[in-house]
């Protein structure tokens, strides 16, 4: 009986350690300005981009490994407008990547639905492919 209890305890304690190595998305979205990890950690609502503000797609991800490739893009109606990518040179507990435009395009952002698109690959295989909810720039 004691052996079963010890085994069960080991399984329970080992589960979080095994899951700790899996990449996960902590924050993904669009806002009108570049963000910081501290700002995202507060969990406050970020202002949505408007037709006459900047537009930044952001992703804060965790548990990344050396060699992982992180890509973020600002997408309008399925078309990638602006993007950025990074190949990690070391393991990272957290990593923030952003892409977009701090200024406003001439005449403002065109009508349409915009979203942030994130892709994380490891050893050539997609680990995570996720998008934020599409929003219009009012």
SS3 10: helix
Does a structural domain hold residue 94? yes
SS3 63: strand
Eight-state DSSP code of residue 24: E
| Whole-prediction pTM | 0.83
Does a structural domain hold residue 121? yes
Per-residue pLDDT tens digits for 19-61? 457 999 999 999 999 999 999 989 888 999 999 999 999 999 9
Nearest to 33 by CA among 82, 84, 101: 101
Per-residue pLDDT tens digits for 70-128? 999 999 999 999 999 999 999 999 999 999 999 999 999 999 999 999 999 999 999 99
CATH of the domain at 78: 2.60.40.10
Does a structural domain hold residue 118? yes
Q: How many domains does the chain have?
A: 1
Does a structural domain hold residue 1? no
Domain region containing 81 = 21-136
């Amino acid at each position: 009986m004691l052996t079963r209890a010890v085994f069960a305890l080991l399984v329970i304690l080992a589960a979080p350690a095994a899951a700790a190595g899996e990449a996960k998305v902590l924050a993904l979205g669009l806002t009108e300005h570049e963000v910081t990890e501290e700002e995202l950690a507060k969990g406050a609502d970020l202002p949505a981009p408007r037709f006459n503000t900047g537009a930044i797609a952001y992703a804060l991800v965790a548990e990344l490994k050396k060699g992982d490739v992180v890509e973020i893009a600002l997408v309008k109606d399925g078309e990638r407008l602006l993007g950025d990518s990074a190949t990690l040179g070391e393991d990272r507990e957290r990593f923030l990547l952003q892409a977009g435009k701090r200024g406003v395009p001439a005449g403002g952002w065109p009508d349409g639905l915009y979203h942030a698109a994130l892709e994380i690959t490891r050893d050539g295989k997609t680990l995570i492919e996720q998008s934020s909810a599409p929003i219009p720039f009012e």
